[in-house]
Structure 1
Amino acid sequence: MPVRSEEDKERKKRESLTAFVRAEAAALGFELCRITRPDSIPEAKARLGEFVDAGRHGTMEWMAETLERRGDPRTLWSDARSIVVFGLNYGPDEDPRGILAKPDKAAISVYARNRDYHDVIKGRLKEIATRFAARSGADVKVFVDTAPVMEKPLAAAAGLGWQGKHTNLVSRTHGSWLFLGSMFTTADLDIDAAESDHCGSCRACLDACPTDAFPAPYQIDARRCISYLTIEHKGPIAAEFRPLIGNRIYGCDDCLAACPWNKFAASASEMKLQAREDLKEPSIAFLLTLDDPSFRTFFSGSPVKRIGRDRFIRNVLIAAGNSGNREFIGACRDLSADPAPAVRGMVIWALSRLMSAGEFSSFAAERPNEEDADVLDEWRMAGAMA
């Protein structure tokens, strides 16, 4: 009888803490909150290793450097007994691909049109963790994206959704539009069942990719992904991808937006992050004028600021070159003496597409001496194209 009583006591405690964390999550705007064990993704490490060994992580060296910790949550924190995974809906009010038909406007990925979600979600998770620790007496740690935590496999194991053929999480209630965060704890909580794959024969996300970044369903080559190229990649973007980028200057939503499960997405909570109006369809003409101080001011609080002004203007120049709008020639020429080689190089490419052959020849004749190897390569490629 005492043994049974002790088991009942532990069960009631577990149920009470589970109900508490779910209620706290809902109160802070998380539409989904489910729980898994630290040992629930045994296949993740091998899959990550194959991805890195194939070089598909590109220049994201931190993936290789943190592979051991990233591949197994128990390596990150061996004392953790439960992992709570939270989902916050950030679905747009309209199909974000509509802006792709407006070449004078710049397409910024939906997730980056508001405050930096890392800061927002981590702030909310810290509130939950503080109250949960006080209630349970257990230790807690919270993580949002930047830590070596494979949140998408954990979210699938916890039942928030499944990893679709585009490798992102898909939810039956929120489609492909979920921010994820997690709380590791030493407390025992009730564990949720994993979600099964519901992609079936659909390949809408794969077919939507402008650059063929998916070698096979459920596999991605970041080196071909526009989100990687415009956000993570620091050097010149390969010439073969520039025309395919179109006016996407920060990220790409095509594979996410193509997912049929989006039409079943539930309405967002009142605490959903709201997009800034000036980031929905900013003009390329305006963005080309941003120097470093004005870039930092305009994107204050936005995740876009993390890539820095020079890489950002590189992306805007690609969009300008793809626009076919000769009105951008003057703004592009104004950047031809920019201190940043990444900017000077893309000016050459953009103007080679916007100017007539004669105009570009005159521009080339006026150019100052150039010593940067990447910029010189751009001149050579432009000369070969002329």
Structure 2
Amino acid sequence: MVNAPLKTGLAREALALGFDCVGVADPGAIGDAGRYFHRFIESGGHGDMDWLAAKPERRADPRVLWPDVRSVVMLGVNYGPDENPLAILEQRTRGAISVYARGDDYHDLIKKRLKTLARWLIANAGGEVKVFVDTAAVMEKPLAQAASLGWQGKHTNLVSRAFGSWLFLGAIFTTLDLPRDQAEPDHCGSCQACLDICPTAAFPGPYRLDARRCISYLTIESKAQIPREFRKAIGNRIYGCDDCLAVCPWNKFARSGRELKLSAREALRAPALAELAGLDHAGFRALFAKSPVKRIGRDRFIRNVLIAIGNSADTSLAGKAGGLLGDDSALVRGAAVWALSRLMGPEQFQSLAANAIGAEPDDGVRAEWRFGCHDAT
């Protein structure tokens, strides 16, 4: 096994690069996580995220992903917010964007530093490396727990005694045999605040998530119209959901992750729904340049904005929704219909529907009109 001084130097270099914590795990140390993952896939809890179900054996054991790996260096970057992320939920005409997506894309920011650290490791000890930031078949959270960075909480996210529920994770797989850290024990105790606060009851039980009910999944991963049963609960959350993270008591130790320029852009802290509804494709790309939000595309984003408009109780926004009834995207048109059904009086909506249904070419959008008429009676 490589001696301890190399690991000490690696940790020192990692902190100098802006990482907040570092540890080393055995690649076979994820325990029962692989079995739980298979159960999650078999239950269908991953929804339409087919990439999760692809080659699950790679996630269940890092050595299947890369047979030569001998050690996994896990690194964390704190992105704790400098304000209460739940406060914006009371501003119903403003859009709530998940804390992690209010700044530049963490994938790009962290991967550069991972590569720099990996080059340092090769220069000082040789061997081979591979780096990962949430983009490959790697179960980062169980590995991070094995590397002492924290533990997987009841909300299934990593929790740290030093940084709460606000850690981005990155991994360096290496052929070097580095000294291991001791796994972090579970410190959740009897607390289940993260389970109780979930607006859509996405947790069937502690340490279990049904992504199909999760607002982050519904607003980011799902390409379809958001199921009606969840629309009211979404409120003004237009990209992701921080509720289960923000309520964690361990957050009192977290601090804002400004070292890696992870602070929120002012334009994304509490954007006005009225302004967001007017974004065309070019405007969307400009506003969310270098942001993870850009990956869902303009149409899905405007779908989310319209759900929030429908939940705003602000009838002045009906004009914004009405202006999108002729949008090229059926996804947008359908969400606009729902928003109007919530903001207009029954007679006004039914009159509008009578003229619109016949001209609407999409079956799904016509179904939204009919549902809206039925709901208005």
Structure 2 length as normaliser, TM-score?
0.97
Q: Which residue of 2 aligns with 1:231?
A: 220
* Contact kept? 2:299, 2:331, Cα under 8 Å: yes
Of 350, 360, 376, the match for 2:366? 376
Of 50, 65, 83, the match for 1:61? 50
Cα distance in 1 for partners of 2:363, 2:124 equals: 60
* Contact kept? 2:140, 2:171, Cα under 8 Å: yes
Structure 1 length as normaliser, TM-score?
0.95
Other structure's SS at 1:237 match: coil
Cα distance in 2 for partners of 1:271, 1:295 equals: 25
- C-alpha distance 269-321 of structure 1, shift in aligned 2 (>3 A): closer
Q: Which residue of 1 aligns with 2:312?
A: 323
1:203-255 deviation digits (Å, cap 9, x = unpaired):
11001100000000110100000000000011011101000000000000000
What letter is aligned with 2:275?
A: F
What letter is aligned with 2:363?
A: A
What letter is aligned with 2:284?
A: F
* Contact kept? 1:289, 1:331, Cα under 8 Å: yes
Counterpart check, 1:155 vs 2:144: yes
Counterpart check, 1:142 vs 2:131: yes
Counterpart check, 1:16 vs 2:5: yes
Of 222, 240, 253, the match for 1:264? 253
Other structure's SS at 2:172 match: strand
Percent identity for Structure 1 against Structure 2: 58
Residue segments in structure 1 that go unaligned for 5+ positions in a row: 1-9
Of 329, 338, 348, the match for 2:327? 338
1:1-59 deviation digits (Å, cap 9, x = unpaired):
xxxxxxxxx6xx42132112111110111110000011101322211110010010000
Q: Which residue of 1 aligns with 2:196?
A: 207
Other structure's SS at 2:359 match: coil
Residue segments in structure 2 that go unaligned for 5+ positions in a row: none
Other structure's SS at 2:46 match: coil
1:168-198 deviation digits (Å, cap 9, x = unpaired):
0000000000000000000111100000000
What letter is aligned with 1:347?
A: A
Cα distance in 2 for partners of 1:268, 1:286 equals: 28
- Alignment map for 1:77-116 (pairs within 5 Å): 77-116=66-105
Cα distance in 1 for partners of 2:185, 2:359 equals: 60
Cα distance in 1 for partners of 2:325, 2:258 equals: 46
Other structure's SS at 1:96 match: coil
What letter is aligned with 2:374?
A: A
CA drift of 1:331 comes to 1.1
1:71-94 deviation digits (Å, cap 9, x = unpaired):
110001110110000000000011
Q: Which residue of 2 aligns with 1:5?
A: none
Cα distance in 2 for partners of 1:270, 1:120 equals: 11
Q: In angstroms, what is the RMSD of aligned CA positions? A: 1.2
* Contact kept? 1:296, 1:305, Cα under 8 Å: yes
Of 165, 171, 174, the match for 1:182? 171
Q: Which residue of 2 aligns with 1:4?
A: none
| Structure of higher CA gyration radius | 1
* Contact kept? 2:79, 2:258, Cα under 8 Å: no
Count of matched residue pairs: 375
Other structure's SS at 2:72 match: strand
